Amino acid sequence: MGRRKKTMNEKGPKLLIVESPAKIKTISKFLGKDFRIMSTFGHVMDFPERRLGVAFTQDNKIELEYVPLKTKSTTINDICKQARECSEVFLASDPDREGEIISWHIGQQIEKVFADESKIHRITFNEITKPAIIEAIKHKAKVDINKVYAQQARRVLDRWVGYEVSPILWKKIAKGLSAGRVQSVALLLVCDREQEIQTFKPEEHWSIHAQFMLSTKQVLSAELFKISSKAFKLKNKEEAHKVLNALASEQFAVTKITDKKRLKNPQPPFMTSTLQQDAYNKLGFAVEKTMKIAQRLYEGVPLADGSPEALITYMRTDSLRIADTALSAVREFIGGEYGKDYLPKSAFTYAKKGAQDAHEAIRPIDVRITPTQIARFLSPDEAKLYTLIWKRFVACQMEAAEYFQRQVLIDGGKFTFKATGSTLMFDGFLKVYIVEDEEEEENVKIPKELEEKMPLVLQKPDSKQHFTQPPPRYTEASLVKELEKKGVGRPSTYAAILSTIQKRGYVDKENKRFMPTELGKAVTEMLVKNLPDIVNVNFTAKMEDSLDKIEQGKENRDNVLLSFYEKFKEDLEKFGGQEASRKVIVTDVPCPECGSPLAIRFGRTGEFLGCSKYPECKFTSPFTRDEQGKITLIEKTAAESELTCPQCGKNLVKKMGKFGPFLSCPGYPECKYIHQEKLKMPCPLCGKAVTKRRWRGGSFWGCSGYPTCKFAIFGAVHEEPCPKCASPYLLVVKNKDGSTSHVCPDKACGYSVVIAGPESADT
């Protein structure tokens, strides 16, 4: 096939190429007929699927091989064909490393057919507004090759680890596993935390509390603070009771009252990691869900006139910088909406050490577009996230909240009690954005009549038993926070990291907290032993810093990669050269058939117990493990059921699958029937059957017409119509107090009735 002739139409329209097709409508209304807008639909080129794509030259340079993605040849051809008819080309993919290499790749393809390479420009914008895009077009630039090199370095590192380590894990543990430069560190953090929890030994300690009566009959609650002017620790009940007995003979009086003003300052605007954390903690959104919703708010959603409008700035950023125009707008809004008392004399500025600062913080594009105004145009989840972003941004430029704080010390003999009371005097930024202060002391009511030297009467002294607690398991929010704190990964990677370790079966979630599976522990143990740099937090953070320096032009891409590969190759050869026996974890549970120890093994459907004497003994069983690590065998469920196969008439049997037990025909593979539980009611959207489906996170009811119909119910169902609105079903909901309710799925209806108290909620 001959090379296409380079052409361009000097009088033709201009071509602007974006990364996501969702931006096309939003941008089109700004640029008019002079521009044609096309999308790459993400990346267009990548390393080959079945080859490493990374090679060394004789002079120790690194060569990369890129090929068009399978589904992108038509996209590339369409863009190149359009470019030949245009006078100028503007590469406008996202303003990060991934966006830069997308522009570089598609730009290289366009150069093959476009006559004047000087008319191919790179532009970036942090918000999809007309002023921002017009300004970007005025500031034409070339692709930032250092940013491209940084992306390539990260991709090569991940390619080496994934492409060369994963096959060894397949041989030594189970097929389908993967290792990753950052995901393996995230898994290590989860495994290390679990180890801390398992080895934690709680320590007992006691606290002393009392109530003191004033002469006015007012009561003040306080806690024992010091004994003989020193901090103390009561280790057991006996020591606590000695103190209680000694208190009875003492006379108490107020010795010191300290009043002070305390300020609570607003938090910075959101960056990616803090948005993910707050959306999880306040809205219950998974990290991946937050990023998907934020992407829609950034690209544009239809408002009053039906045309899409972008609502927030770019959502992948580690910067806290705010544009001057945005600061002026929000200060004007605060003064007009809340009054001058809420407006600081000058704008607050925020900075994060080590931030790439290529973009702004995450903020609303137009602060005058309030959540209330546009809620009806957004989905409920979009409205919630926009509200969170809007409130955080407005609050970050408001005055601090002001508290009046009073601390009271009460002495009697060698004992000193303390009481602290705090009153909010001015709400400041709290008027817009509520902050939960985890470090806030317990607040008590301090009587106004209290004075120094005032005698008090001791009443109701009591002791409370406490035990030190192990560190909590990570939630999605706290794991992101820990990764960010340690400098591992970048804003654009957190969602993918959390998704990968779950999809690979390395972690499970219990009460929304990560627990490593036996598979995850086995992979981590093997990597720590054989490839220590891959799962070294400091090493990974240092590598992230090196990638930043490549982007800044301070480090050479090939030098950084070679320094990693020399040690990696040495470790890899030792690891791969070892005997490829499958990893098993021997337990102290005896085999029911031969008495030998059972071992945890890993197969295509997950973990299972098998006899350590295999193949002499072929006993296997699924199992569970409690929080203390105790293993319990799950009774095999291959028992015959009363249901018959509708295809061949045999009695169905219970089997254990990847996502739990299920019923299927014993005539497999001749008969492949699998029984599906279904509701009596048809799908309210399309009329087809609603069946139970299972996935790693549990089960749900979904329309059998999926993907055409996406109706789904997450949770237990009570198949009786709602007595208030006639909805065909009710949800079975467990309440915080342990009771169970039947609740209408239509929130607008609001019907709810308690059907079981706390004691019978599980029946």
* Residue 283 DSSP one-character state: I
In angstroms, the Cα distances linking 75 to 16, 42, 639 are 14, 11, 53
Q: Give me 6's structure tokens.
A: 């380079």
Give the CA dihedral 464, 469, 474, 480, nearest 10 degrees. 80
Alpha carbon distances (Å) from 193 to 190, 225, 255, 514: 5, 32, 45, 10
- Alpha carbon distance, N-terminus to C-terminus of the chain: 72
Closest alpha carbon to 417 in 426, 404, 408: 408
Cis peptide before 532 (omega within 30 of 0): no
Asked whether 338 and 431 are in contact (CB, 8 A), the reply is: yes
Element (DSSP H or E) covering residue 39: strand 35-39
Q: How far apart are CA 10 and CA 45, in angstroms?
A: 28
Specify whether the CB–CB gap between 517 and 607 falls below 8 A. Answer: yes
* 133, HSE (Cβ side, Cα atoms, 13 Å): 23
Phi/psi-derived region of residue 71, left when phi > 0, alpha when psi is between -120 and 50, beta in every other case: alpha
Catalytic residue among 314, 386, 494, 506: 314
Cα 612 to Cα 597: distance, rounded to the nearest angstrom: 6
Q: Residue 493 burial by CB count (10 A; 0-12/13-18/19+): exposed, middle or buried? A: buried
Only one residue has tokens 């004497």, namely 613
How deeply is 218 buried, as exposed, middle or buried, from its count of CB atoms within 10 A (0-12, 13-18, 19+)?
middle
**Residue 72: DSSP 8-state:** G
Task: Examine the residue annotation and report whether 314 is marked as an active-site residue of this protein.
Answer: yes
587-609: b (≥16 Cβ within 10 Å) or e: bebebeeeebebbbbbeeebbbb
Residue burial 437-462, b: 16+ Cβ < 10 Å; e: rest = eeeeeeebebbeebeeebebebeebe
Burial (0-12, 13-18, 19+ Cβ within 10 Å), 284: exposed
Distance of CA 546 to the CA centre of its chain: 25
* Centroid of chain to Cα 128: 25
Encode burial over 524-553: b for 16+ CB neighbours within 10 A, e otherwise.
bebbbebbebbbbbebbbebbebbbebbee
Structure tokens at 689: 């059957």
DSSP annotation string for 88-131:
EEEE---SSHHHHHHHHHHHHHHHTTBS-GGGEEE---SS-SHH
Other residues' Cβ atoms within 10 Å of the Cβ of residue 141: 11
In contact, 60 and 558? CB cutoff 8 Å: yes
- With tokens 């001015």, the residue in question is 426
Q: What residues are annotated to the active site?
A: 314
